[in-house]
Amino acid sequence: MPNKVVITGLGCVSGLGMNVPDFWDALREGRSAITPLVDIDEGVKIRLGATVKGFQPERHFTPNELPLLDRFSQFAVMAAREAVNDAGLENSGDCLAEAAAIVGTGCGGKQTDEETYTQLYKEARSRAHPMTIPKGMPSAAASMISMHLGIKGPVFSVASACASAAHAVCQGRMMVLSGLTDIVLVGGTDAPFTYGLLKAWEALRVVSNDTCRPFSRDRTGMVLGEGAGMVVMESLEHAARRGARIYAELSGYGLSSDAGHITRPDVGGISCAIERAIQDAGFMPESVNYINAHGTGTVMNDLSETKALRQVFGNHADKLAVTSTKSMHGHALGASSAFELIATVLAIHDSTVPPTANFTAPGEGCDLDYVPNKARKLEIDVALSNSFAFGGLNAVLALQAWHG
């Protein structure tokens, strides 16, 4: 059985750009995609978001394809195409046919739902579009990736709110290590900028109309984002056999559930997931250089995550570089942990820690090195990417540099 899983391809569509190079350039520059929302109903109080600017679906899909593609599926297919091309698998039909694809989503096809409800309840139409279900179902993005890329192995979706993509990555790693497949395409996608979903987030009172400034004293909440991130993972044997470029090794993961409050994070549950990731990867806590934090910019999340890192790492916590890239790409729900995995992989590969943007002064109890506002050159051997979802569903990914 394979004993190592490596990352060989990256794909990303986000508010920072419609490809990985644009995404990474923006992160290194500390440039935020959070801007005022346009074409939003006057009844919505949320006025900011990290949307995909200038996106024209017809430039990426044919007129016959578009009627079946919700916005969240469009993003997913685009990111999947880039990841496969980046891995050098675009012309490897036999390899892809045997591959697996697992796609996380927190919301599914909300654009399709919104359009359908508008037609039925506002416009008083008597019938829905015949393709409403297959277009809007949560598994639609996974199915569309399968069809567009010719993936015929195991294909399915996972849903665990903002840890969805991280859970997809964990499942993908298990599949490769079990010998079920040599290649798996994993990630997440969401497109939450609809009237109904914005009103629902508005009701939670956790969204900022200022900006997202994680760990800062004057933080006022999270800011929504959208897009998709996809990653190609392979067994080391398969990657070496075809001479693939390796970005990093996915060395382990840690999973836990708080079994507590539906929205309030639990330090014990977070700590447990971090400890399990370190143990699964076979790392010593002192070997970790960098943490890509969940870092939503809400008071409870930032404080709980900081406490958990102190609990797990002790004095070594002072030596960690800890950043939240949500300050730039927003909280893209099911796609967020995919964005953050890609950011962590590139931080390792390029020896550069992306900053926590919009940082002002540390909040009470937020006493770690958050790399404020400016990227930092750092040789990163071991890193963690944290994801802690509503419902208390925690997933931590452990990565290390690949030295060949």
Indicate the SS3 state at residue 115: helix
> What secondary structure letter does DSSP report for 354?
P
With a CB cutoff of 8 Å and minimum separation 6, the contacts of 404 are 246
358: tokens are 């919009």
162 catalytic? Reply is yes
- ∠ CA 272-273-278, nearest 5°, is 100
Q: Which of 12, 95, 107, 162 is catalytic?
A: 162
Residue 294 appears among annotated catalytic residues: yes
Q: Count, in order, helices (H) and strands (E) of the chain.
A: 13, 14
User: Within the chain, what is the greatest distance between any pair of CA atoms?
Assistant: 64
- Which of 148, 167, 331, 349 is catalytic? The answer is 331
Known catalytic residue at 261:
no
What is the rounded CA–CA span in Å between residue 369 and residue 61? 43
Host H or E run for residue 321: strand 321-323
Cα–Cα distances in Å, from 355 out to 153, 290, 309, 316, 385?
A: 38, 11, 18, 20, 14
Amino acid making up residue 392? G
Active-site annotation holder among 294, 329, 349, 366: 294
Where in the sequence numbering do the catalytic residues fall? 162, 294, 331
